[in-house]
Structure 1
Amino acid sequence: MDPRSKAQDVMRCDLCETAVVQMHCDTCLVNLCKACDIASDVQNRMSQLEKEYGDLSTAITKHGEDWHREIDKLVKKLKAEADEMKRKQLKILQKHLDEIHKKIADIKCKINSIESLLDSQVKKLLDEPEIVTTIETGYRQHYTVACLSNEKIWTGGDSTINLYSINQGSLLKSITTRSEYTPEDIAVAKSGDLIYVDNSDRTLNIFKSEKIEVIRLQSWIPCGVCGTSSFDLLVIMYSADYQQSKVVRYFGSTEKQTIQFDDKGKALLSPWPYYARITENRNLDICVADKEAMAIVVVNQAGKLKFRYTGHTPAPKNQPFSPRGITTDSQSYILTADYSNDCVHIIDKDGQFLRYIDCGLSDPWGLCIDTNDNLFVAQWRSSRARAVVVLNQAGKLPVDASASIKWRHSFEYIRDTDSKRSIQWHLFPNVLLKTVKHVMF
């Protein structure tokens, strides 16, 4: 058919294929009607949105992965820092724990040492004292005794002061007091010089190089004296009107210190401590046996009151405490003669009662201890100055020594199988003891 005479076909929409073409896209080479043009646009937009949101999702996923990597790094860093802190703290705590274990071991070692020491030293203190020698002095009244050395001892009574050989009991020297009255007290100075007080003429007398140096006290009357580790002299004295008393420290004839009142202004000693005796302890405390106050008064080196000891009950004869002589040993224990109960009290440096020495004494008065802790006792109405030792081999401990710090006052009787005799043990309260090997009375 001739194309010119044939009916011509209309161009249709490539999408719907029914509507007449109204638009042609030169880029896509697509023929569209208006309706398909709008739908195509929506579809294009939807495709575009799909693509854009897909890109966004991909970007978010990528950011998430990046963040996870950063978080993982941060977590690893924090864990590493925490592990390091833990390691350091554990190291410190382990060090402390090791130190604690070491200290515990040291404490256990010390406890074992103390128990061992206690075992041996308690036994020594509990051993019964024994009279090892007796010196006949010939005095009618025997007040005082002072150790010159471990071999020689001064004794005072009547109007003379005698020097005896301890081992032989022989008289080595005799000094008559200037006043020819009984010396109230005697002592040996750090220099080895003999000192005696004479209350009849109110003097302090120093026997040096066969000569007597005299210190006159004018309105005060001396009654007790001792030498000190610093070469001073301590003198107890009371006023001529018997209204006050004090302790004075001398260096030569110079007064260095006066001790009279406590912190509250109260007198430390009785107004008239007639038979008072004094000694310096190893810890430099000043110890006074004040008969009138019925007390041992202890002050420190500066004169500050530490304690008063007024006796212990039950006493051997159940009589009031009546202290006379006083001395101290190498462990700073304080020993005082109890005249009324015929015994010697032993207390520690803090005033804690340890035990009695009660072995047949009669009217004990003066006391002194030599460098071997042998204790000497002057008996007032006896002509004998007795030296008594604590045995270090007698009997067995009545109870386990490790429990000794819990002991209360009690008595135990143990049979000594060697000597076939009974030994009386006097236990003591709550005390941790050191070496004791007194010569006791």
Structure 2
Amino acid sequence: MDPHSSAQDVPRCDLCETAITHSYCDLCHVNLCKPCVVDHISGGYEKHKIVPFQERRSTLFYPKCETHSHKKCKFQCEDCNNIFVCSSCIASEQHARHKFVEITEVYKTKKEVIKKDTDELENHISPAYDEIALHLENELANLDGGYEKLTITMSKEGEQWHREIDIIINRMKTEIKEIKGKHRDILKKHLDEIKQTQALMKQVLLVLKEIEKSTEVAPTVKYSFKIREFSKPPPKVQISLPTFIPKPIDHEKLYRLFGQITPLATATGESVLSLNQPNTSVRELLGEPELVTTIQTGYKRLRSVTCLSDGRIWTNGMTNDIKCFIAGFLLETIKTKSAERPGDIAVDSDGDLLYSDRTTGTVNKVKNGQTEELITLQGWAPGNLCVTSIGDLLVTMMTVNDEETRSIVVRYSGSKERQTILFDDEGNPLYSGNTKIKYITENRNHDICVADFEAGAVVVVNKDGKLKWRYTGHPSVTEKEPFKPRGITADSQSRILTADRNNHCIHILDQNGQFLRYIDNCDLNDPFGLCVDNDDNLFVCEFSKGNVKKIKYLK
């Protein structure tokens, strides 16, 4: 280790290499002890600049004047493009009546700019790049796992198709068995009729032979039986075997019917590269929303739903299990670590499940079947969750003490707290102070949107936490029952959708909080949690029925 630069040793003299440094030559840039100072300047004092060690590198080195080589330039001429000039230049005719500025002032100003730029680069810009690099490294590290999940999902879908095909084949086999039974019954019936006729013919034949052999006159004379009844045999029964006519296999149609692999799409956000971003082209509202499908989850009281890009949805209710469905089929069930119901669920940018647990004051992450605590709170209970477009996590939370109940929104990057949203510009609380749920989402403008049930309002702030607007319902909808929003979500057009459970409908607002329309058809009952997928299909939880309804509302 270098003895001159070791952090575990005091600076030593560069000449004798043993004594402790006392001084410093600001021109030669060497450490000097007291005895060595004399030796160092023996070659000419004017060639050196000896300063205390603590003041090292404080001497300014002025540039030499190009016109007067024996002079140093300590000024700049503002009228000559700020060229360096010495005192002789200032007195010359060339710079008569010009404006000059001392280089030391410019030097100090530039030093401040350099320091500011250094701080900005070191403390803000560089960490931002580090964060992007870390995110991309994580994306690369998780790439195989993500695609493995995709292939597993496809394989499971293929297995389901095989099961459905087996069911169809078994059903057809049953139909064939039933047809065979009917075929047999028809043939047996006709055979029995023929055999009965044959038995009758034998009896008649015996009588005829007896009469033929007999010499008695009376039976012969009285014979009047007509065999014409037997002379015309019954028609032959012809029953064709059923045939199986397979439909031609259209491989391309079958491929499309099986499913769809969304194309790899890249889009640049504010600071990171994001894959599988929804389509941002303008999409108008449908004249009448359409119910696509209804998924029965088995919950008696269904609270939340969240979508993944591969078609899966996670759901939770008032029990301790969280269920994952795809195309209406149950894929897996996860139990909460505390055995209590989750407060809310979300999916992070890696596709891993997140859930909040009020009983333990934690936000948990489920990865590869293992549950780990991502955030642990003290004195606060986590509520609802939202993963932002840049991968941050927004959490609504509340605290209850002897004096008051407070509700806030906190932004996390990983497990590190980044932002707290509580008051407006006048110092008033943004959200009602109660323990009622407050669903949360982020729209494409990075606005943070909260459905505040107790306040009867949707509260929207910008990404810096500044209040933008509040929506308290629309008379055309809420004239029957007061507006008490539940679930909330946003689509690719920055429209905001919120569930109005009391009026059994969904309000659709534009990004400025203007009411556009509502969805009250599709036989909605007790709408609660909401989410939209990458194609802007709306998924609605029906609290009491335990169904998730998939609704198309955009053209």
**TM-score band w.r.t. shorter chain:** 0.5 to 0.7
Structure 2 distance, partners of 1:344, 1:323, is 9
Whole-angstrom CA distance in 1 between matches of 2:482 and 2:310 = 34
Structure 1 vs Structure 2 CA RMSD: 1.7
1:226-237 aligned at under 5 Å gives the runs 226-237=386-397
- Which secondary structure state, in structure 2, belongs to the residue aligned with residue 355 of structure 1? strand
Moved over 2 A (4+): none
For residues 209 and 139 of structure 1, the distance between their equivalents in structure 2, rounded to whole angstroms, comes to: 25
Partner residue of 1:184?
343
Report SS of the residue matched to 2:285. helix
Aligned to 1:142: 302
Cα 1:147/1:285, change in 2 over 3 Å? same
Which of 320-329 and 194-203 deviates more?
Answer: 194-203
Determine the C-alpha separation between the residues in 2 that align with 1:247 and 1:161.
24
Supply the distance in 2 between the matched residues of 1:330 and 1:349 (Cα, whole angstroms).
Answer: 11
Q: Which residue of 2 aligns with 1:162?
A: 323
Q: Distance in 1 between matches of 2:472 and 2:309?
A: 31
> Is 2:518 the partner of 1:356?
yes
> Structure 2 CA distance, aligned partners of 1:273 and 1:247?
14
Aligned equivalents of 1:361 and 1:174: distance in 2? Answer: 26
Q: 2:550 aligns with which of 356, 379, 387?
A: 387
Partner of 2:496: 334
User: Which residue in the other structure is 1:246 paired with?
Assistant: 408
1:250 shift after superposition? 0.6
Partner of 1:294: 456
CA displacement 1:213-253 (0-9 Å, x = unmatched): 21211100111111011111000000132521110001111
Alpha-carbon shift at residue 203 of structure 1 (Å): 1.2
Partner letter of residue 380 of structure 1?
F
Q: Partner of 1:362: helix, strand, or coil?
A: coil
Question: Which residue is equivalent to 1:74?
Answer: none
Q: What is the identity, as a one-letter code, of the residue corresponding to 1:260?
A: L
Aligned-pair identity (%): 53
- Structure 1 residue 126 displacement after superposition: 4.2
Answer whether contact 2:449 2:459 (CA < 8 A) is retained: yes
User: 2:477 maps to which residue?
Assistant: 315
Rg: which structure is higher? 1
Q: Which residue of 1 aligns with 2:74?
A: none
1:279 alignment partner, SS class: strand
Residue number among 131, 134, 142 corresponding to 2:291 in the alignment: 131
5+ unaligned residues in a row in structure 1: which ranges?
1-119, 391-435
Distance 1:317 1:170, change over 3 A: farther
Residue 534 (structure 2) pairs with residue 347 (structure 1): no
Query: Within 5 Å, which residues of 2 pair with 1:70-219?
Result: 124-157=284-317, 158-165=319-326, 167=327, 169-214=328-373, 215-219=375-379
* Unaligned segments of structure 2, at least 5 residues: 1-280
Residue 340 of structure 1 aligns with an amino acid whose one-letter code is N
Q: SS of the counterpart of 1:131?
A: strand
CA contact 1:317–1:341 (8 Å) conserved in 2: no
**TM-score normalised per structure 1:** 0.59
2-structure distance, mates of 1:252, 1:347? 31
Distance 1:190 1:333 in 2: 22
CA distance in 1, matches of 2:343, 2:301: 11
Aligned to 1:368: 531
**Structure (1 or 2) with the greater helix fraction:** 2
Distance in 2 between residues matched to 1:367 and 1:154, nearest whole Å = 12
Given that residues 396 and 440 in structure 2 are in contact (C-alpha distance below 8 angstroms), is that contact kept between their aligned partners in structure 1?
Answer: yes
C-alpha distance in structure 2 between counterparts of 1:344 and 1:225, whole Å = 20
Count of residue pairs the alignment pairs up: 270
**Aligned residues of 1:365 and 1:379 also touching (Cα < 8 A):** yes
